Amino acid sequence: MTRLPKFTLQYNEEKENWALQKDKTRRTVKSYETKEDATKRGVLKRAVGVDGGSVKIQKINGRFQEERTYPKSKDPRKSRG
């Protein structure tokens, strides 16, 4: 089983927007004006790309809200927690 690329959606205080960053490189893949813009109707799925990936979504205070896997078929069957 291949490892999925990991991404984090977090609030960028300097630019006052929400940035989707690739965890390995810390490079911003896409920016959004609001968190709702990033999480609605498959927007994250398109931003992650064809190969898919795992996206951790943070709250504005920095705590993790949820994690999503794209495509859903690549979600690991067995996981602790």
Instruction: Look at residue 81 in the predicted model and tell me its pLDDT.
Output: 58
Contact 46, 39 (CB under 8 A): no
- Residue 79 placed within a domain: no
Contact 43, 34 (CB under 8 A): no
- For strand 6-12 and strand 53-58, is the pairing parallel, antiparallel, or unpaired? parallel
| Domain housing 20 | 6-74
- pLDDT, one tens digit per residue, over 12-66 is 999 999 999 999 999 999 999 999 999 998 899 999 888 889 999 999 999 999 9
- Residue 30 placed within a domain: yes
Counting the structural domains of the chain, the total is: 1
- Residue 81 placed within a domain: no
